[in-house]
A and B are shown apart, each in its own frame.
Chain A
């Protein structure tokens, strides 16, 4: 076959080796053995079993979604808790899955309280055949009120202590799942590292309130006459996830393998996460919305991307974007771009005109009447190169941001501060 001959998708996340980097995240799609086996048949390389702990009682309803202009569920919210199934059933099914799918990765997510409980659960998970453990220090609803989940993930000392217990008791790799409900992620990743973790996974869901029933005056999801905060996820959280993953990936003190989570809905998202340093990606919401079958396109799209870019292994492409993820003070202030509108492609909607006038720097104008065209005119002497016009333009490749040679040598804010380097005159600042 023309596809996939020269590309190896094998993924290694802190010693957890899977046939490809696509894992089901610990969530409803990974709730039972029957589901996970169907997922493996569809092509998933690994699955993080829905978190095991003392089985809980759930509410109805549990999910809410953010719909935007006719697109359903660009963001998703849940108030479901960890497993509600008996532990012995879960462990029996883990053993069955591993027996039938020895080459796939089964990672067991755990959330308990005391040292003895951790010791007991880890032993049972490993006895059942777990290839790795994921410590759920992330869940931001329900469990944290009981002193678990994000209550642990928000306290570096607690995170480090429990991680060290798990590492002590475990004979398989331990990943710590981090919560994004913190101001900076790095102290928490470093705490997991100090505890001896073999890797981290992030992000867990973000504390959220998804909407209000404006006739009943009750937030959603509605449980009788009340609701509570949930955990936010889905395509809309991807930028937050990528920022936190990138922050850890470029932290020279960190260096642990990362399993990326948060808004991965297609192969392109997965490519971005891997370029940002992830060894594997975990998916939940897209599977909840559309089924295990989405993995086919993910595998094919990633394979084709790797082939066309000359990568033969995940490791060759992993982290390629990390060195370019920098700080504002390191950006070249003399790099200048201006908007160019392709008159052959422009359809004359003037979306760029109104966006520039009202939301940017008033440099794109309707063509003069006598010109007899609706292709707008860019006043390049005023264009600050902000990108807004390109973002609102509905026609692919109609507006491009062209680099301008202004004669100034590169100069960053840091260089300006420390060496007094020459900056170009400001544009649009009058």
Chain B
């Protein structure tokens, strides 16, 4: 069932550049999945579960694969995490569940938990196995601002408890970064939309696309319309480098660029060299994606070094194997232009104290420069919302996702500053439970 064009994969352009990517971790076949599942030790108080932000009962879902109860296996996953399909692909399992696997302690290969989770959840989506029904109508309604995993997970949980939900999303397609930002060798936009459609399949979640709070509707109007609000708006635009030449063509934010080639086509013909500025996970994604898009020479340029970068070690290791170069302790000072287009970056080496080293200036040629130096916070968006506190642009929430306004909750990147999909899902679900408690114990408009 397709709830509308905002979750219909057929509305995506067919010639999207992301379509050329293969799966870097291919799907398991039945024999492989069975062999891997049978290797699982079915630990009690399992460390893999403790490492999962959504607390999926991993040994149990794996045991169900081994007994042939695939339908039950997917239920175990989706009951804890309705985005189990995308999390199976995009989670940094190396530092989460798989990193916790006790096989690591005996220097044996850990269980491929992500791939097994994909095996079960792919089947659930392909077969359209439905496990969850909306609860009896509570007469309460919740507005959810932002259409990414946090809001969608919250809405799904709220529907299981019978609360009416409306999602307000500014974009054309739902799914947040799952649709627009995840590396295509992990998850493509069409699969992300299919999953959102599956999540909406519980029914009773209204979607208003292309709606921006502040521009198209006021917070007061939303508060009047709903008993409670959940804010899951993610992060804002890529930060820019305020250096000479910033108006040249060929300079883009990494998140914006990724969205362009995931949802459409980018033309990189003639780009022999590209530079990505930054050392976080967006930067590491971007360099790997540029290699995949066919750029012959891709360099990561970072003011720190390998040890200081915040991007995952396993991802950067893979990038190096793919041929990505690096420039450590380097800071751009100006863009070099030719005919209105960027041709390189003027840079300076930084000392241990992160100060420019005199005389150590040089130029790096590049026809494409992507900036992965963070994203703006959307704090100003909630300026008109009484009681909601901001800290460094993030919405301040407690462990349940509650803000200072008793009717307003938040989760995902706008509250945690930018983490994984699985964190957004966990926070959305936790907030939904808190909202449910608030609504059923009498808070009202």
Residues of A within 8 A of B (CB): 1-3, 71, 266-268, 290-291, 293-294, 296-297, 300-301, 304, 394-396
Looking across the interface, which residue of chain B has its beta carbon closest to that of A308?
A: B71
Determine the chain B residues whose CB is within 8 A of the CB of A300 once the complex forms.
64, 69, 72, 75
A2–B38 Cα distance when bound, in Å, is 27
Q: Do B67 and A266 have beta carbons less than 8 Å apart?
A: yes
Asked whether B42 lies within 8 Å of A395 as measured between CB atoms, the reply is no
B59 nearest CB across to chain A (Å) = 9
Query: Of the candidates B69, B129, B133, which one forms a contact with A1 in the assembled complex, judged by CB atoms under 8 Å apart?
Result: B133
Distance between Cα atoms of A267 and B69 in the complex (Å): 9
Give the residues in chain A near B44, CB-CB below 8 Å.
291
- In the complex, what distance in Å separates the CA atom of A301 from the CA atom of B63? 11
Which residue of B is nearest A266, CB measured? B67
By a CB distance below 8 angstroms, the chain B residues around A291 are 44
Query: Count the B residues whose beta carbon is within 8 Å of the partner chain — how many?
Result: 20
> CB-CB < 8 A to B133: which residues of A?
1-2
30 contacts between A and B (CB under 8 A): A1-B131, A1-B132, A1-B133, A2-B130, A2-B131, A2-B132, A2-B133, A3-B72, A3-B75, A3-B131, A71-B38, A267-B69, A268-B68, A290-B42, A297-B63, A297-B64, A297-B67, A300-B64, A300-B69, A300-B72, A301-B64, A301-B67, A301-B68, A304-B69, A304-B72, A394-B31, A395-B31, A396-B30, A396-B31, A396-B34
Report B68-99 residues with CB < 8 Å from chain A CB: 68-69, 71-72, 75
A266 partner residues in chain B, CB cutoff 8 A? 67
Q: Name, among A71, A290, A291, A300, the residue most crowded by chain B CB atoms within 10 Å (CB to CB).
A: A300
A304 proximity list for chain B (CB < 8 A): 69, 71-72
B32-66 interface with A by 8 A CB criterion: 34, 38, 42, 44, 60, 63-64
Interface centre among B44, B63, B131, by most chain A C-beta atoms within 10 angstroms, is B63
Taking CB atoms, residues of chain A closer than 8 Å to B129 are 2
Question: Complex formed: what's the CA distance from A3 to B63 in Å?
Answer: 18
Given A290-B42, A297-B72, A396-B30; 9 other pairs, CB 8 A cutoff: A2-B130, A71-B38, A267-B67, A267-B69, A300-B72, A301-B64, A301-B68, A304-B72, A394-B31
Write the nearest CB–CB distance from B123 to chain A, whole angstroms: 13
Closest to A296 in B: B60
**Which residues of B does A touch, CB under 8 Å?**
30-31, 34, 38, 42, 44, 60, 63-64, 67-69, 71-72, 75, 129-133
B60 touches A293 (CB 8 A): yes
Question: Would B75 and A301 count as touching, CB distance under 8 A?
Answer: no
- Chain A residue with the shortest CB-CB distance to B131: A2
Complex alpha-carbon distance, A294 and B59, angstroms: 11
Q: Which residues of B contact A297 (CB under 8 A)?
A: 60, 63-64, 67, 69, 72
Which of A266, A297, A304 is the most central at the interface, judged by chain B CB atoms within 10 Å of its CB?
A297
Please measure, in the bound complex, the distance between the C-alpha atom of A268 and the C-alpha atom of B132, giving whole angstroms.
Answer: 25
A394 / chain B contacts, CB cutoff of 8 Å: 31
Complex Cα distance, B43 from A290, in Å, reads: 9
Docked Cα-Cα span, A266 to B38, in Å, equals: 13
Per the bound structure, the CA–CA distance linking A329 and B75 in Å amounts to 46
Report how far A71 CA is from B38 CA in the complex, Å: 9
Question: Shortest distance in angstroms between B72's beta carbon and chain A's nearest beta carbon?
Answer: 4
Task: Please tell me if the beta carbons of A301 and B130 are within 8 angstroms of each other in the complex.
Answer: no
The distance in angstroms between the C-alpha atoms of A157 and B72, with both chains bound, is: 48
Residues of A close to B68: CB separation below 8 A: 268, 301
A325 to B130 alpha-carbon distance, docked (Å): 37
Whether A301 contacts B60 in the complex (CB less than 8 A), given A1-B131, A1-B133, A291-B44, comes out as no
CA distance A291 to B57 in the complex (A): 15
Bound-state Cα–Cα, A396 to B34, Å:
10
Residue of B nearest to A307 (CB): B71
